[in-house]
């Protein structure tokens, strides 16, 4: 091989490696494609746990019907305190809830919007997704046909069920939901933290007990909640327990002693809604969000 040829061979090879590295980086950081500045995106970095760290209480349950998770949901509600409804003012304690079932009539499928600010002022929560937006709707039915029509997949009519009738909640074009907290009544002007957060899920199938054969390690959990502090570091993260087959329910929540959760990232399922729910794709929808009263961030 001539010197020129070998130079080109080395140059091409280096270029190819550089592209591979670049492509790998882009793929590995899919979640940075957010509609808000990178600097405010959650940072998944942890130092060693400080000695004074008080672990949160974890509430979780999964099973084929509403009764399977009702006990854990009630326990979490009681741990947070009274329901503060839709009052656009800060309460000293208690909790807020969003069941996605308010006006307009609960069989309507709302068109995707991003960010979703419907609950920003009267419940202190804002929702952002790297997808096209969020929609609230029934699994099927109503004037727009529900999520079965929204995602052009008739199997969704029986694959998902609402915990609180009739609507579910989902990002469109993504499986990621970021929740940011603000003091109620501040219309998003006062950033806040909460002491606890939990969400109810419909049809978390993975892991399903089929393997892999080794007991330890990644069992292919599909659905994850990550809790972040004001500095963007992960405070806690947990996989949502599964209830394989159709239209099961799952619940995962944590409560800290103090209001230290600044934002929450939910990865619902291992794929954005659209494809069939099967052995490869675990599609997951969300229902009720329950969280502590938002207080001004420290």
Residue pair 147/138 in contact (Cβ under 8 Å)? The answer is: yes
Which residue, 30 or 278, has its beta carbon nearer to Ca ion?
A: 278
Instruction: Name which of 14 and 165 has its Cβ closer to Ca ion.
Output: 165
DSSP 154-174: TTHHHH---SSSS-EEEEES-
Q: How far is CA 37 from the centre of its chain?
A: 19
Dist. CA 157–CA 283, nearest whole Å: 13
What does residue 281 show for φ and ψ, rounded to 5 degrees?
A: -110, 120
Nearer to Ca ion, 99 or 126 (CB): 99
Structure tokens at 41: 């995106």
Rounded CA gap, 203 and 198, in Å? 16
d(CA 39, CA 232): 10
Q: What's the min distance (Å) between Cβ of 164 and Ca ion?
A: 4
In this complex, which beta carbon is closest to Ca ion, that of residue 175 or of residue 193?
175
Q: In whole angstroms, how close is the CB of 205 to Ca ion at the nearest point?
A: 4
Which residues of this protein are in contact with Ca ion, per CB under 5 A?
A: 99-101, 162, 164, 167, 203, 205, 246, 277, 282-283, 287
Q: Which is nearer to Ca ion, 106 or 126 (CB)?
A: 106
Q: Minimum CB separation from Ca ion for residue 279, in Å?
A: 10
Query: Minimum distance between the CB of residue 159 and Ca ion, rounded to whole angstroms?
Result: 6
CB of 47 to Ca ion, least distance (A): 35
């Amino acid at each position: 091989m001539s010197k020129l040829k070998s130079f080109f061979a080395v140059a091409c090879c280096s270029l190819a490696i550089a592209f591979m590295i670049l492509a790998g980086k882009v793929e590995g950081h899919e979640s940075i494609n957010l509609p808000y500045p990178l600097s405010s995106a959650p940072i998944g970095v942890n130092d060693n746990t400080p000695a004074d760290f008080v672990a949160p209480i974890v509430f979780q349950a999964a099973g084929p019907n509403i009764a399977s998770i009702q006990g854990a949901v009630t326990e979490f509600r009681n741990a947070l305190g009274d329901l503060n409804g839709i009052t656009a003012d800060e309460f000293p304690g208690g909790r807020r809830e969003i069941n996605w079932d308010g006006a307009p009539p609960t069989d309507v499928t709302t068109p995707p919007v991003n960010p979703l600010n419907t609950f920003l002022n009267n419940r202190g929560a804002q929702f952002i997704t790297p997808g096209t937006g969020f929609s609230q709707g029934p699994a099927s039915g109503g004037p727009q046909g529900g999520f079965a029509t929204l995602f052009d997949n008739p199997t969704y009519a029986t694959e998902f069920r609402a915990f609180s009738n009739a609507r579910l909640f989902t990002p469109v074009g993504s499986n990621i939901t970021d929740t940011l907290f603000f003091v109620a009544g501040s219309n998003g002007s006062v950033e806040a933290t909460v002491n606890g957060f939990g969400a109810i899920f419909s049809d978390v199938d993975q892991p399903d007990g089929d393997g892999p054969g080794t007991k330890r390690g990644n069992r292919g959990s599909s659905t994850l909640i990550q809790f972040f502090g004001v500095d963007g570091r992960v405070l806690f993260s947990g996989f949502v327990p599964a209830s394989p087959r159709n239209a099961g329910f799952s619940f995962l929540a944590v409560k800290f002693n103090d209001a230290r959760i600044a934002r929450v990232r939910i990865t619902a399922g291992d794929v954005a809604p659209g494809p069939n729910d099967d052995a490869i794709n675990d599609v997951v929808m969300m229902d009720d969000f329950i969280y502590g009263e938002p207080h001004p961030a420290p």
